[in-house]
Amino acid sequence: MLIVLAGTIGAGKSSLAAALGEHLGTEVFYEAVDNNPVLDLYYKDPKKYAFLLQIFFLNKRFKSIKEAYKEDNNILDRSIFEDELFLTINYKNGNVTETELNIYKELLENMLEELEGMPKKRPDLLIYIDVSFEKMLERIKKRGREFEQIADNPELYNYYKQVHGEYPEWYENYNASPKIKISGDEFDFIENPEDLQTIFDMVDSQLRELDLLD
């Protein structure tokens, strides 16, 4: 099976991906954040680095999804299917031009066509972590990445609000695979083992319905 996680910044994708990987006994492919040479620059100057950042992410996620497709079972903590959302936000904010947006969309389309030749043509399941804006900010603060902190850059508040507001529509329009929604406010799968087990049960049930789990 191939499972992809989705959700806004700070939703807990990496934490849940790690837990699911252990639960299902499979490898996890993580978003390229810690070794990303562009991310910090983007937060300091989005107009200059937005397009470069999204090309960097697109390249890394394309590599990850190709590697994941070649194996029997894998989990991605963010996938290529969310990428256009972030570049579109940057376009709305004037950080990329219409020409850059169109070039990016054409490149993404070409990459997705390449996936048609892989053993799997799409993920088996998308797990969307839905969190409130308050919970999103709480988790961003708690994980402590300096370049993400509103205290250091108050302008990030409006950006985070915008990103959070875009996700519900993105999830509703996502149709590349079966999908389920998990409430990151209702279930504290990071700190509460009982809540995490509830999530495991929900995912296992969905995988059985898809004939992917005995």
180 is in an annotated binding site: no
Sign of CA pseudo-dihedral 19, 145, 192, 178: negative
199 is in an annotated binding site: no
Per-residue pLDDT, averaged over 152-165, amounts to 93
Q: Can you read off the two tokens belonging to residue 19? A: 């837990």
pLDDT 10s digits, 112-155 = 888 776 766 688 999 999 999 999 999 999 988 888 899 888 98
68 is in an annotated binding site: no
Q: Can you read off the two tokens belonging to residue 70? A: 């070649």
CA atoms within 13 A on the CB side of 123: 26
Buried/exposed 148-184: b ≥16 CB within 10 Å, e otherwise: beeeeeeebeebbeebbebbeebbeebeebebebbeb
State the pLDDT at residue 173: 94
Per-residue pLDDT, averaged over 90-113, amounts to 93
Mutual angle of helices 98-115 and 46-70, in 10-degree steps: 0
192, pLDDT greater than 90: yes
Work out the burial of residue 12: count CB atoms within 10 Å of its CB; fewer than 13 is exposed, 13-18 middle, 19 or more buried.
Answer: buried
Work out the burial of residue 8: count CB atoms within 10 Å of its CB; fewer than 13 is exposed, 13-18 middle, 19 or more buried.
Answer: buried
Exactly one of 34, 40, 72, 77 is catalytic; name it: 77
pLDDT 10s digits, 37-96 = 898 899 889 999 999 999 998 998 888 888 887 776 789 988 888 888 999 999 999 999
Question: 13 near 131, Cβ under 8 Å?
Answer: no
Q: What's the pTM?
A: 0.90
State the pLDDT at residue 34: 66
State the pLDDT at residue 121: 67
State the pLDDT at residue 61: 86
Q: Using CA atoms, how far apart are residues 182 and 195, in angstroms rounded to an integer?
A: 11
Query: Is residue 211 among the annotated active site residues?
Result: no
The mean pLDDT value of the chain amounts to 91
